[in-house]
Amino acid sequence: MTMDMESLRKEIDAIDVELQNLITKRAHLGMKVGQIKSQQENPQFFVPERESKVLSDVVERNKNGLLNDKDMVQIFREIISATRALEEPMRIAILGPEGTFTQAAAHSHFGHSFDAVFRPTINDVFAAVELEKAMYGVVPVENSIEGVVNSTLDRLFDSTLQLCGEIELRVEHSLISQTDNLLDIKKVLAHPQALAQCRNWLNRNLPNADLIQVSSNAKAVEVIRSEKGSAAIASETAADIYGVNILKSNIEDHVGNTTRFLVIGRIAVGPTGNDKTSIMVSKKNEVGSLVELLEPFARLGVNMSKIESRPSGKAMWEYVFFIDFEGHAHDDINVQLFKELKDKAPLFKLLGSYPRSAR
């Protein structure tokens, strides 16, 4: 049995050497691609549609693999991330400080080989990309339980940035504190969405604690690590980063709690064959006006996955509708759809087309 174990380990070691040599070879090829790109007028070192195709091919080849699709994709994502960094180091604007779920979402999309540009608010993330202090930004847009993040929708209204991707992240909240006993906690700090997502647990276990809203869960951990009698709601990663104890794990009220994030950038994304498009339209507050806007979707057979309304801010009871649907803006059917919507709506804005999230 010992000989069999030694033989297997030697075979594994040999494969590791082969894998490492192949990864190095891939990195050299990536550097050559980067050199060619750098000679172009406006080089684009991160090409979302190309990376989406590569990862889709990974899933397709994994039909008989022992590793599940998610794990296999993550392995390749990190290889791509590390080799992409050899072409051009990327700067990604993230809702900070370090340890937020937004940072985790960025890692799941871009891998870990990028420079994080932490910003305190969603508005600041948009500004960092608009002012070219970052190539892309990642912002939360909706939660499966609590609904949309209004500040993101409001910022999309006036921003010139493109939507370049989406990320769906399973959210697991922990109660984090320097205090060892739940009975000693007098206040709980967290982002408003996190407080809402843990509302029932907090009512049952900390009914008398003051609930205090802050700009991010990671900021909450930063604050409470020097305060006795205080707790934060955040990820286990945030607890590790800031060296604070986890009192309770998985305090979210609903299993499967998921947050959707958007990737924002300055360059439109080409079609991949598995895309989603987001638009913004408005209509006067008249009887049947919304039905008139939605009619072309049904008639043309365009599958709409989401519609959300927000006050326009321009006139009382006037609303803007944010709509997500399947397909790319370049698809013939959507070109026709846009033509009809522009004829019907006083405001039409294409927010972007992007690869659908790999769930």
- At 235-248, the pLDDT tens digits run 999 999 999 999 99
For residue 272, the model assigns a pLDDT of 92
- Please state, in angstroms and rounded to a whole number, the distance separating the CA atoms of residues 111 and 109: 6
For residue 265, the model assigns a pLDDT of 97
Query: What kind of fold does domain 174-251 have according to CATH?
Result: D-Maltodextrin-Binding Protein; domain 2 (3.40.190)
So where are the chain's domains?
A: 174-251, 269-355
On the CB side of 334, how many CA atoms lie within 13 Å of its CA? 20
- Please state, in angstroms and rounded to a whole number, the distance separating the CA atoms of residues 52 and 268: 14
- Please state, in angstroms and rounded to a whole number, the distance separating the CA atoms of residues 212 and 186: 11
Q: Which of 18, 15, 36 is nearest to 26 (CA)?
A: 18
Identify the residue whose tokens are 């082969």: 18
Tokens of 136: 């892309």
For residue 317, the model assigns a pLDDT of 55
- Please state, in angstroms and rounded to a whole number, the distance separating the CA atoms of residues 299 and 163: 26
Under DSSP, the state recorded for 179 is -
CA 101 to centroid of chain Cα atoms: 9
What pTM was computed for the model?
Answer: 0.88
Judge whether 174-251 and 269-355 match in fold: no
For residue 316, the model assigns a pLDDT of 53
Distances in Å between the alpha carbon of 313 and those of 172, 233, 268, 282, 287? 35, 33, 27, 12, 20
- Please state, in angstroms and rounded to a whole number, the distance separating the CA atoms of residues 303 and 351: 17
Using CA atoms in the order 103, 177, 149, 259, what is the torsion angle rounded to 10 degrees?
Answer: 60
Span 269-355: which CATH code? 3.30.70.260
> What is the average pLDDT score of the chain?
91
- Please state, in angstroms and rounded to a whole number, the distance separating the CA atoms of residues 311 and 285: 11
CB burial string 277-303: b at 16+ within 10 A, e below: bbbbbbbeeeeeebeebbebbeeeebe
For residue 255, the model assigns a pLDDT of 85
**What band does 215 get if pLDDT is binned at 50, 70 and 90?**
confident
* 275 touches 355 (CB < 8 A): yes
* Phi, psi (deg, nearest 5) at residue 301: 75, 30
Catalytic residues: 259, 261
Q: Which of 244, 103, 240 is nearest to 176 (CA)?
A: 244
**What band does 314 get if pLDDT is binned at 50, 70 and 90?**
low
Q: Which of 278, 309, 312 is nearest to 162 (CA)?
A: 278
